[in-house]
Every structure is written in C-alpha cells, then in structure tokens.
Amino acid sequence: MQAVKQATKSQLQVGFYTNSCRRAELIVRSAVRDGINKDRGVAAGLVRMHFHDCFVRTGGISYDVQAGRRDGKVSLIAETSDLPGPTLNVDQLTQSFAKKGLSQEEMVTLSGAHTIGRSHCTSFSDRLYKFNGTTSQDPSLDATYAASLKQKCPQGSTDSSLVVPMDTSTPTISDVSYYRDILANRGLFTSDQTLLSNTATASQVNSNSRSPLGWKRKFAAAMVKMGGIGVLTGTTGEIRANCRVINS
C-alpha cells in the first residue's frame, strides 16, 4: 500500500509539463501573479480552491507547486461533507485532517490560510446571537471585536452579500496576524478560536505567532503535501477544456 501511495505521488512533480508544454507552469505563474496584483482577493480564492479540491475529491507565500493533478469527472455535493466547517472543535478538526493523512500540527499550520480572505456573516453569526441555550454571545470572543462584528452583521439581516475580513489587521497579506488574533480572542470562527482549547494546538498557535518565517515554511510544505491527497494522474481524470464543466 505504501509503495502504491509513493508511486502515485511521484507522478506529481515540479516541471511536469516540461516536455508536453514547456511554458505551461511559467504561464500559470504569470497569470496568478497578474491576477493577485489586480485583486488581492484572488489569493484567498486560490487557496480555498486548492483546499476544496484536495479534501473533497481527492498571496504572499511563494513555493514551487508540483504539477500533474488532473481534473475529476465527478462532482457531488454530498462529498463536501468531508470539508471541515467553521463550527468544528479542535478534536473534530484533528480527526477531519487525520482522515486525509495530515497531522494535527499541519492542521494548525493550514488553518493559518485564514490570514487572507473574507467570510459571510452566516458562517459565524451564531457566535454573536445564538451561541447556546443560555448565552447569546460566545464568551470566548473578545467583547470589543464582537461589538464590531455585530455592526457589520446585524441580527436578523437577510443580506447574503455581507462579509467581513477573517484577519482583523492585514486581511490581504499572508502573515501570522491570524495567530495573534486567536491569542487576543479575535478568532472569527469557532474552528479558529478552538485552537486555544488544546494544550498542543495552543502551543503551536503561540509558536507560529512568534515565527513568521517558520510558519511560512511549514505552510508551504503542508500545501505541497495536501496537493498529493486523492491525486488523479495518468489515465484517471481528465484535462478539462472548460474548467467549469467536465469534457463531454
């Protein structure tokens, strides 16, 4: 089994398209760079897309990406149940990532992707207004931060376009302010703030908050590892002519 896994992963490599399309990876890198320069939000979208692709069927940090993953031919909404949601506690998060072969430390490292991007109010509004049967507001949430979120996400609002940044200070920059927010009880999701509820993960949050370069190195390594989850190569999957739909 181990030999099979290694053989599958070995089909992914930097420079995968060197013979078939020599400039492919250069073109992609250039397109990504230009896209992020025009809209910083693209970085968060790309990380989200990579995470969802690797978990379901399967901006500021630069690393070589192993190429060769092919597009799947199946897209089932039922399979999104594998995605770790914003309400999970630390044990549930650990189990979710472990199912994909990722360690608890890698889970904490990859959670740092919340340093960029925005969230819809519906993903965390329960922490503000309906936390549990006896408390309306999550007591682990910094009071000043909670008040600010309530202004941006009014109770009972039906406006689905309301969003807030997931990082309070540098929402367009990949840095360790995400971890510093958690230490200040400003983690936006339950799945963020819960990292302080466990001795091991709390220690990793502290360590990452003090080591920007160390976190970036770990994040790059974890992203590359995640890129090898459920990989389709060779004759499995396809290269879509239109990214939005399977080839007919």
- Catalytic residue list contains 50: no
User: Is there a domain that residue 24 lies in?
Assistant: yes
Binding residues for substrate: 84
User: What is the tally of structural domains in the chain?
Assistant: 1
User: Is there a domain that residue 244 lies in?
Assistant: no
User: Is there a domain that residue 122 lies in?
Assistant: no
Catalytic residue among 9, 40, 50, 52: 52
User: Is there a domain that residue 10 lies in?
Assistant: yes
Q: What is the pLDDT along the chain (248 residues), one digit of tens a residue?
A: 343 344 344 476 676 667 777 776 777 667 767 766 676 655 555 655 554 454 444 466 777 777 777 777 876 766 666 788 999 999 999 999 999 999 999 999 999 999 988 999 999 999 999 999 899 999 999 999 999 999 999 999 989 899 999 999 999 889 999 999 999 999 999 999 999 999 999 999 999 999 999 999 999 999 889 888 878 777 788 888 887 788 87
Q: Quick one: pLDDT at residue 9?
A: 45
User: Is there a domain that residue 41 lies in?
Assistant: yes
d(CA 70, CA 63): 20
Rg (CA), the chain: 19
CATH code for the domain of 92? 1.10.420.10
The position carrying tokens 């992914």 is 12
User: Is there a domain that residue 111 lies in?
Assistant: yes
Q: What is the pTM of this model?
A: 0.76
> Is residue 232 helix, strand or coil?
coil
Binding residues for heme b: 114
User: Is there a domain that residue 238 lies in?
Assistant: no
Residues in CB range of 142: below 8 A, 6 or more apart: 184, 185, 186
Nearest to residue 109, comparing CAs of 240, 236, 239, 224?
224
User: Is there a domain that residue 113 lies in?
Assistant: yes
Q: Quick one: pLDDT at residue 74?
A: 76
Q: Quick one: pLDDT at residue 49?
A: 56
Would you state the structure tokens that stand for residue 183, as one six-digit string?
């230490």
d(CA 170, CA 41): 12
Q: Find the domain containing 11 and state its range.
A: 2-117+166-226
The position carrying tokens 């974890």 is 222
Give the chain's length.
248
Binding residues: 84, 114-115, 167, 170, 175
Secondary structure letter of residue 13 according to DSSP: B
